[in-house]
Structure 1
Amino acid sequence: MSVRRPAPTAALRGGAVGATTATLAVAAHGIGGGGLPDSAALTLLLAACAGVGAAVGGVPVLSRSRWALLVALAAGQSVGHLALTLAPDAHVHHGVPALAMLAAHAAATVVCAALILTAERLYGPITAVLRAALEPPVLGVESARPLRPRPPSRRAPRLAVLAAGLSRRGPPVFA
């Protein structure tokens, strides 16, 4: 039985799903009329979104498919909304139409998916450019040869600071 390895961008996708889900859940919740969360709701939201991000980054099926990304983000928005409404001292939806809140969370899901897919598409070219820019230049065939290790020195290492302050002269000899 072969085990599928995660995509090279699996960690990127998982982290991005967790971070953008939390950020856009708060934004969509506020735009939909829910208001800003207090510290307890924010803590619960961050824990829930970290779990969603870890699941997306760790499960190979979720780290490869566009539809799985959209489903994971929708689940993350649902979990985010639930975390924002379950926290102690959470707000109550006073006269806020459920349709506006649902539309704000759906729009946040689509925006998150577009941002993450764009980042994944640009990941390969950007890392190739960075590798090319940060690698030392190869000047010729001779410089590409592996260097031979230097044989160890038989002399004990001497620090310049200690050598300047130490004298090898002993006390005078009286005969």
Structure 2
Amino acid sequence: MTGALQHIVVMGVSGSGKSTVGKALAATLGWPFVEGDSFHPPANVAKMSAGTPLDDDDRRPWLETLAAQIARNEAAGRSSVLGCSALKRAYRDILRSGAPRVRFLHVHGDRAVLAERVSRRPGHFFPASLLESQLATLEPLAEDEDGVVIDVALPPAEQLDAALHALGLHRYPG
């Protein structure tokens, strides 16, 4: 489907490559990319930086802000791509409230690959010690959710091709 507005949330735990895949997907489609992490309030960043996992109460206002970003793109007549962990169905439900067609691209893979990737991100506010809490929180997409899964172990270009194919999307001709 390429004609109607839609919003793709690239989801997964930290280190899965949400930003890399999301930016490539957005550039390929000619859609804006929204980096969800940049909308975390300072209290959330401080909590994660200290090695404390966020809870549902911490995440709710952040997710509502992201749903509002989706709604702004929808109101402006733009499809969009958003990078956001979206670990639980309840979180995805909040994001879905932003527009009629919110879809999910779950970048998923092996725990060891994810841990290695997280450890290679010096200066990021999310410490490697929190990966296990995210993996424990993660609820895979349910059959009735509009979304697909791609393998974190694929090279970025193959992830992009797999995502486009699985989502039924086509490269922006410009």
Q: Report TM bin, short chain.
A: under 0.3
- Structure with greater strand percent: 2
- Structure with greater helix percent: 1
TM superposition score normalised by structure 1:
0.25
Larger CA Rg, structure 1 vs 2: 1
The structure whose RCO (Cα within 8 Å, separation 6+) is larger is: 2
